Each structure stands twice: as structure tokens, then as C-alpha cells.
Amino acid sequence: MVAAARAARFLRGSQAAGPDTWTEKSRHDFVTEIDRGAEALIAEWLTDHVPGSVVVGEELSPTAAQAGEVVWIVDPLDGTTNYLHAYPQYAVSIAALVHGELRIGVVHDVARDLVYRGAADYGAWVGDRRLAVSTVTAPQYALVGTGFPFKQLDGVEHYLRQFAMVMPAVSGIRRAGAAALDLADVAAGRFDAFWELTLAPWDVAAGVVLIREAGGVATTLDGATDVLGGGALVAGNPTLYRWLLEVLRNA
């Protein structure tokens, strides 16, 4: 939590510069020196306090091997486009793989200064409140989170088929542009389910820990529990996760 808090303070104290300073890593995917600075702060603290651990981060070390006794999976600024436009939906996300298994997750909601934390056999928490997924079981009452395939536009047609099947069956769909916070919302019971087609390991690792420790389910679209290979993620309380997975597969 300390490393995430350091990065959150850095982000709050930094001024997002204009578009002429943004680097477009790929279509619609921006990075700035602020992202890199936040990740450097996180990596320094983690490796100092857990010697021998490895940091896999979106900006500085995205291709680092996810192997080792302790591997940190870091997104220093999830929701960069939101941050650059002063839209208050962005977060710092840090997860830990211990001997290859997801064990720890922290999502720091920067704008609201809320820290979601979870660990295997510890539960998921925000402050002193334990998180639990929703108890909604009927799709017509469900609020579902999603994310658009904005980086891979060749996936839009497939996504729209899914959207067209989910939308009339639920009470609402929301897209706010920061997957780590979307997954925290599932863990907190605000979203009943969630899906997105193109996510990286650092987008989902911490949030998946929160969901599972809050009693929910998170898998790939194929139903696999290993969610760190990149690609699609489906999550929710157990009942609506199963329903959503089936709808998406039929699309």
C-alpha cells in the first residue's frame, strides 16, 4: 500500500501537460513522463523493501518475465486518458505473484484517495470495511461494467455483437475507462458483473485478487482462471458471472 500511496501522491501533485508532450504507444494509447515517474517510484520502493523481487510494469518493464519468487505487476496510472483530461477516474494498481500465484492486490483510487486491498486468505477491504460482491442474481436488475476495445479496432464488431446481447437483458451498462477501478467496483458490489476483451496483465492483476477475495469469480472468456496472459476478462458475483459468460460466448 505504501508504494501505491507514494505514486498516488506523485500523480495528485503533478500537472498533466498538453497533448504535445504525450507519446502515443499505439493507437489511442498514450503515455507521459508522469506515468514513467510514478512507475519508477513504485519500482524503487518495492525492490528496496523486497530484495530480489521483480517488477513487471506497463511503462518501464512490460516484457519482463513473470517468473521468480515474488513478481510485482504494476500499472502506475490506469486510466491515463482520463487523467490527461482531468476526468477523475484513474488509479494505481499493484499486484504480487508469489511462486507464480496471484496473492496480493492493491488498487488506489487517486482522485477519491481510496485504497482497495486484498490478499489470499485475508479478504478484500477498503478502509475498515470488508468487501463483498453483490447478491443480485437476476440479469434484469444487474448493473454491468465494460471496456471498449479502443486499442484493437478490429475487435469492435465482435464487441458490439456482445454489447447488443447484454444491453437489453440488464438494467444498465457503464464504461468509465479504468479497468482496475471497474474491478474494484465488482468487488465492492457496485457492479454485478464486468467484461472487456483486450486487457493486459497490469490492468487486471490487482482487481482480480480483490474480486476473488470478495467472493466473486474472474476468468478469461474461455473460463480459464489464469488471467495474466492478456486478452478478455469476465468477472462478477458467481451467478451473474456464469450468466454473462454464457451470453458472451453465444455472441
What average pLDDT does range 222-247 have in this prediction?
Answer: 97
Whole-number Å distance between alpha carbons of 12 and 130: 26
CB-based contact 187:241 (threshold 8 Å): no
Q: Residue 13 has what pLDDT?
A: 87
In degrees to the nearest 10, what's the CA dihedral of 74, 76, 81, 83?
150
Amino acid letter, residue 23: T
- Is the pLDDT reported for residue 18 higher than 50? yes
Domains defined for the chain, CATH in brackets = 2-130 (3.30.540.10), 139-250 (3.40.190.80)
Whole-number Å distance between alpha carbons of 182 and 204: 10
C-alpha cell at position 143: 448493473
Whole-number Å distance between alpha carbons of 191 and 214: 13
Query: How far apart, in Å, are the Cα atoms of 114 and each of 152, 208, 216?
Result: 31, 17, 21
Q: Residue 62 has what pLDDT?
A: 65
- The tens digit of pLDDT for each residue in 87-123 reads 999 999 999 999 999 999 999 999 999 999 999 999 9
What average pLDDT does range 229-238 have in this prediction?
Answer: 96
Q: Residue 22 has what pLDDT?
A: 47
Give 78's strand partners: 91
Low-confidence winner among 65-69, 84-88, 187-191 (lowest mean pLDDT): 65-69
Q: Residue 24 has what pLDDT?
A: 52
Q: Residue 38 has what pLDDT?
A: 93
Higher-confidence position of 251 and 62: 251
Whole-number Å distance between alpha carbons of 214 and 194: 15
Q: Residue 34 has what pLDDT?
A: 84
Q: Residue 153 has what pLDDT?
A: 72
Whole-number Å distance between alpha carbons of 78 and 101: 22
Q: Residue 63 has what pLDDT?
A: 65
- The tens digit of pLDDT for each residue in 131-157 reads 999 999 999 999 999 999 877 677 799
C-alpha cell at position 18: 498538453
Whole-number Å distance between alpha carbons of 195 and 124: 20
> Taking the CB of residue 220, how many other CB atoms lie within 10 A of it?
18
- The tens digit of pLDDT for each residue in 24-67 reads 544 544 457 888 889 999 999 999 999 999 999 887 766 666 77
Helical axes 201-213 vs 179-187, angle rounded to 10°: 10
Gyration radius of the chain's alpha carbons: 17
Q: What is the DSSP letter of 170?
A: S
Q: Which of 128, 185, 162, 130 is nearest to 249 (CA)?
A: 162
C-alpha cell at position 172: 444498465
What average pLDDT does range 171-180 have in this prediction?
Answer: 98
Please provide residue 189's backbone torsions phi and psi, each rounded to the nearest 5 degrees. 85, 5
CB-based contact 216:238 (threshold 8 Å): yes
Helix or strand (DSSP H, E) at 108: strand 101-109
Angle at 202 (CA atoms; ends 4, 124), nearest 5 degrees: 60
Query: What is the overall mean pLDDT for the chain?
Result: 91
- Is the pLDDT reported for residue 189 higher than 60? yes
CB-based contact 82:90 (threshold 8 Å): yes
Q: Residue 172 has what pLDDT?
A: 98
- Is the pLDDT reported for residue 159 higher than 60? yes
Q: Helices (DSSP H) in 94-187: which residue ranges?
A: 156-166, 179-187
